Chains A and B, each alone.
Chain A
């Protein structure tokens, strides 16, 4: 079973690197979102430094929604989902592996890019570190809750935008605690640990709930 799960992870990573459209596009989209903000609010550095963490979080949130709809739909279209369902492995674990592969190829590049993009917004080193840490802990929650939308996309051909609309409300608590932790680190009014731990808890809940809900959704909707 371990060999089967490893094979799924390795295959999805290989596909993401060969086909493209995964992490690279996500980071470019993230860059685009972050760079247009100064055009909208004006190039005032203190203001940008203040709203910077929130901008980075919103950018990462939107970028993490890209490509979500293809996680299961691509396998459904070419018949690979049937193959996965015939494997002697629970569908929940398969979904978890596919989520992990998606996070490595789209979530992790966003975390790596965040400090560089933070420099564009004039963030202090402390804020840069806090944003990167919160994204590292928070992006798995985004991906794994997104798995639920990804599973629904199996029944919705060309449902990419719909998946984003469905998943976005679920991510609001993650956004709140991610930005709150970063603000706490910068201002020092509230201890950083409190919202950060809640963010970590959300990620852990997502890690369990996402694959289970996605597997249940696939079982119900595929026909």
Chain B
């Protein structure tokens, strides 16, 4: 499986963030998107997820289901954790599993892997920022999707959480997955390709 991007351009609020962006990510690879604040890292991920329409260019997932959009083959973890405070931790994850389609892993197992099993029956509004992040990351496990689009995934995570994230990503990649990660910190994984967005386009 291969993610192919050609001639991608993004315009937000009348301002051109980047144009002519092209790259390819093959199975087992991570693309790290770096660059200063406002360079368009989050916008690039939203474009890949199909949450924003591209101004120009093409995004394709080769080897995926051609009937489906790239977005339905992808997980998108953005700045907002998409957690409902009134639902319990287990209900939040159970909902995602039902919505996106569940795989082999049960919600409890995923919560255990992210160190949230003791909080399963707590309302999610009680969670700290780091715990909410862990809950958002648990979505990656319950619904298997080949492409992970992660926007600053390690925000608010403690050292142990960052290690867990790195091991989850390593496992995903060794299983033939792909990932595009917008980040400011170094990813503790192998086979990272870097693309750097500048404030005036690609550098």
Give chain A residues whose Cβ lies under 8 Å from the Cβ of B80: 77-79, 82
Decide if A85 touches B84 in the complex (CB within 8 Å).
no
Give chain B residues whose Cβ lies under 8 Å from the Cβ of A11: 84, 87, 91, 95
Shortest CB–CB separation between residue B79 and chain A, in angstroms?
A: 8
Decide if A85 touches B82 in the complex (CB within 8 Å).
no
B105 in contact (CB, < 8 A): no
Q: Which residue of A lies closest to B65 (CB)?
A: A88
Question: Given A8-B99, A11-B95, A87-B99, A78–B75 Cβ distance below 8 Å?
Answer: no
Choose among B76, B84, B85, B86 the residue that contacts A86 (Cβ–Cβ < 8 A): B76
How far is B51's CA from A71's CA once the two chains are assembled, in angstroms? 19
Q: How large is the interface on B (under 10, 10 to 19, 20 to 34, 35 or more residues)?
A: 20 to 34
Decide if B78 touches A86 in the complex (CB within 8 Å).
no
Question: Given A14-B91, A86-B72, A86-B74, A6–B98 Cβ distance below 8 Å?
Answer: yes
Query: Contact flags (1/0) for A167-183 with B, using CB distance below 8 Å?
Result: 00000000000000000
Question: Given A15-B87, A78-B84, A80-B84, A85–B50 Cβ distance below 8 Å?
Answer: yes
Query: Contact flags (1/0) for A1-43 with B, using CB distance below 8 Å?
Result: 0011011100100110011000000000000000000000000
A44 in contact (CB, < 8 A): no
How far is B49's CA from A18's CA once the two chains are assembled, in angstroms? 31
Decide if A88 touches B68 in the complex (CB within 8 Å).
yes
B100 in contact (CB, < 8 A): yes
B96 in contact (CB, < 8 A): yes
Choose among B49, B83, B85, B87 the residue that contacts A82 (Cβ–Cβ < 8 A): B49
B12 in contact (CB, < 8 A): yes
Choose among B51, B68, B83, B84 the residue that contacts A15 (Cβ–Cβ < 8 A): B84
Q: Counting chain B CB atoms within 10 Å of each CB, which of A4, A78, A80, A89 scores highest?
A: A80
Query: Contact flags (1/0) for B94-107 with A, using CB distance below 8 Å?
Result: 11101111000000
Give chain A residues whose Cβ lies under 8 Å from the Cβ of B101: 4, 88
Give chain B residues whose Cβ lies under 8 Å from the Cβ of A86: 49-51, 71-72, 74-76, 100
B81 in contact (CB, < 8 A): yes
Q: Which residue of A lies closest to B46 (CB)?
A: A82
Q: Which residue of B lies closest to A222 (CB)?
A: B51
Decide if B52 touches A223 in the complex (CB within 8 Å).
yes
Choose among A3, A6, A15, A83 the residue that contacts B82 (Cβ–Cβ < 8 A): A83
Q: List residues of A (196-223) whose CB comes within 8 Å of B's CBs.
A: 222-223
Q: Which residue of A lies closest to B82 (CB)?
A: A79
Known: A18-B86, A78-B82. 17 other contacts (CB 8 A): A7-B94, A11-B91, A19-B86, A79-B79, A82-B49, A82-B76, A82-B78, A82-B82, A83-B99, A84-B99, A85-B50, A85-B51, A86-B100, A87-B100, A89-B99, A223-B12, A223-B13
B interface list, Cβ under 8 A from A: 12-13, 49-52, 68, 71-72, 74-76, 78-87, 91, 94-96, 98-101
A interface list, Cβ under 8 A from B: 3-4, 6-8, 11, 14-15, 18-19, 77-80, 82-89, 222-223
Selected A-B contacts with CB under 8 Å, 27 pairs: A4-B98, A4-B101, A8-B99, A11-B84, A14-B86, A14-B87, A15-B84, A15-B86, A15-B87, A18-B87, A78-B82, A78-B83, A78-B84, A79-B78, A79-B80, A80-B84, A82-B51, A83-B76, A83-B96, A85-B50, A86-B49, A86-B50, A86-B100, A87-B99, A87-B100, A223-B12, A223-B52
